[in-house]
Chain A
Amino acid sequence: MPHYKNTAGCSTVKMGVPEKVVIPMVQHIGAPCEPVVKKGDNVKVGQVIGSSDKYVSSPIHSSVSGVVSDISPRLYPGGVSVMTVEIKTDGKQEIHESVTPPKYSSKKEFLEIIRQSGLVGLGGAGFPAHVKLSPPPDKPVDTLIINGAECEPFITSDYRHIIENSDSIIDGIKMLIDVLEVKHVWIGIEDNKPEAIKLLSGITDEDSTIDVVKLKSRYPQGAEKMLIYSITGRKVPPGKLPADVGVIVMNVNSVSFISQHMKTGMPLIKKIVTVDGSAVKNPSNVEVLIGTPLEDVFNFTGGFKSEPRKVLMGGPMMGIAQFSLQAPVLKHTNALLAFDEADAKVPPESPCIRCGKCVSACPMNLLPLSLNFNVLKGNMDELHNLHINDCIECGSCSYVCPSKRHLVQSIRLGKAQLRQAAAKGGK
């Protein structure tokens, strides 16, 4: 698979304040937040605008200062309707009084600070960080893995983050070592990023608890289960979490955010995103305020060189196609890609020739061609025998298929159908 890391050399450029920001009340896996501001309220940078009592949730903060101009359900970039707060900015970026450097003296306090910071897994899934960092007591964690693999093509925002913020990454790791009491920390980086490996190896040279691991550049190397296996040789069983094998995985962005947050108290309100793709005039890395509409980000980089026909939030393998450029940048957005007509086109499917390339490509040892066949035939019982729910939806099977079959797409469909059947009281 080509890497297309066109923007590896593009230093992060800071984008200014957009006219308005659009902030959905779900930017994480878990319970949605309720808006805690009203239309017409003045808000400041770092002010909580959405929160939830539920444990598996993460509060949402304003990334700007301005006036709440609308609160209404809107279509979320993932395709479902979500309560959304729109804020007209005043450009002053006044900081809210709640933003002060936090202090902690226990693990419990540390985790509460993390929770209030709004941190979610920044690698893409958006799992609330305080939950991830609190494994149940019967699952002792001895290993922390820092994910800097960045295996998706095109995306270089993690790479730039390492190059530009290496000190805060290491600081964050040291805080986590103290709090989590882990024995060892591995920083996993794919070998197509030699400068990042060199830089972090240099800094951690003296430290025997932190090691940088050079990983083979092979998609989906950065997928949690693959990363854990490559580094520790431990296999996370189907349906289990990393903590079940004594591991916690954090993205490089997440750890550096933790160290910055402890210094300033500023919650998660900005993100570095890679802007690239065949329709983009100037591929670049941009630091963007969360809630900025995609159109503003593209325009900031110089706009399009040809009409975009497909716009992705995330990478080309697992990113979500957007139906509107008014969609906002979210907490876990790491790339915005825009493709022209030629790249947007979906090739026609032809019959499966049973070449088995999808079988060799599947990191989970599944049989994508058989899953595809049984989903299309509606053989729901067979899907369990073929372990359909173990699919991590990395897309490798569809990528390699010479017949251009929509393999992972049909597997997603099959999973959804099984969920529906289960909800109806079936098996």
Chain B
Amino acid sequence: MENSLLVTSSPHIRSKDTTSRIMLDVVIALLPAAVSGVWFFGARTIPVILVAVLAAVASEAIACKALGKELTIGDFSAVVTGMLLALNLPPTIPLWIAAVGSALAIVLVKQLFGGLGQNFMNPALTARVILLVSWPVQMTNWIIPDAVSSATPLAMIRGKEAVEGSLPSYLDLFLGKVGGSIGETSVLAILLGAAYLVYRRVITLEIPLTFIGTLALFTWIFGGNALFTGDYLYHMLSGGLMLSAFFMATDYTTSPITFKGRVIMGIGCGLLTGIIRLYTNYPEGVSFAILLMNILTPLIDRYTVPVSFGGEKKVA
């Protein structure tokens, strides 16, 4: 018996949390948004979601094999990436584009940079942007429920494709009965999933709240014909904001690790989104805003090393 005693450094107990359980929680939290996509845009969205998820998992398996790494599909992180990408694609997207997007996200953005925890940009968002610039037509072919094709609410408010008066109501925006990507239109469904993530302590609210709050403030001040007349509520409920704020900007790997860092990330995302939405040729800027802040994350982390308990701030 003497020699059978195991000697290790403390602590000797560990919590029950695991990486795969966290990823599974994210998958569960994305289900309401996925269901809302199927509900509003029809059964055609089901194969898009399935293909994106399967392609992501298959890419992960092949990449692990090719790079001689341990097979990591059991941690569900590839499922999350595939699902997030699918929910950010138009309902009419050709299936092969969805598959290419998943492969890009997993192989190019994630595995080639070292796999889980090592990528410096959000895989699903990066893939979405690559698809957007590669196949701009297919990536902006919107439909709205009960109609053949249409513009998104953000394109409409810019007055380019529709006349005033045909803007969707706040209620339609909240429920998701508007044009947009599969999983981004229903604020209700997204908030349900987000509430689950907060309840499970998978995400904290620093980034989503500062992101949404900053954008609301920015569009209220600068979004109207005069200062302080912008329709901030419309901006908050439209586009990819809610899905991205709760599910993409909070991505662990590509967001800062401290409270202060996360607040900076959220404010930065909100400002950049507002600037892109109001002053550029793109109606939507959420993806670009988050990717830019992803790139800044290591820098933010570097400058937000907290003062130790009881320590004093260094005088510069």
Contact = CB atoms under 8 A, between A and B. Distances in A.
Interface of A: 1, 153, 225, 229, 235-238, 240, 307-312, 314, 316-325, 339, 343-344, 346-347, 350-357, 359-360, 363-367, 369-370, 385-387, 390, 393, 395, 398-404, 406, 408-409, 412
A390 B12 contact: no
A320 B9 CA distance: 7
B115 A351 contact: yes
Nearest to B309: A364
Interface stretch (B16-24, B87-95, B130-138, B163-171): B16-24
Interface stretch (B56-64, B100-108, B173-181, B251-259): B251-259
Query: What are the nearest 4 A-B pairs in CB distance?
Result: A395-B11, A235-B310, A402-B17, A390-B308
A46 to B, nearest CB: 32
9 contacts: A1-B15, A307-B4, A317-B10, A324-B5, A357-B17, A367-B258, A387-B308, A402-B15, A409-B8
Given A319-B12, A387-B311, 12 more contacts: A237-B312, A307-B1, A320-B10, A321-B5, A325-B1, A353-B116, A359-B258, A363-B309, A364-B309, A370-B301, A390-B309, A402-B15
A324 B6 CA distance: 10
Contact of A237 (B8, B17, B311): B311
B115 to A, nearest CB: 7
Contacts of A325: 1-2, 5
B305 A385 contact: yes
Given A319-B10, A402-B22, A403-B19, A354 B253 contact: yes
B47 interface: no
Interface in B5-53: 5-15, 17-19, 21-22
Nearest to A339: B12
A310 B311 contact: no
Contact of B1 (A308, A346, A366, A367): A308
Nearest to A219: B11
Contacts of A309: 4-6
B224 interface: no
A318 B9 CA distance: 9
A322 B7 contact: yes
Contacts, number: 157
Interface residues of B, number: 40
A190 to B, nearest CB: 18
Nearest to A350: B19
User: Chain B interface secondary structure, helix, strand, loop or mixed?
Assistant: loop
A307 B5 CA distance: 10
B258 A354 contact: no
Nearest to A324: B2
Given A322-B7, A351-B118, A399-B13, A238 B310 contact: yes
Contacts of A225: 309-310
A366 B301 CA distance: 12
Contacts of A347: 14
Given A237-B311, A351-B117, A408-B11, A322 B19 contact: no
Nearest to B12: A316
A346 to B, nearest CB: 6
A325 B258 CA distance: 43
Contacts of B4: 307, 309
A366 B4 CA distance: 36
A390 B17 CA distance: 26
B231 interface: no
Contact of B5 (A153, A322, A356, A408): A322
A402 B19 CA distance: 5
A308 B5 contact: yes
B252 A356 contact: yes
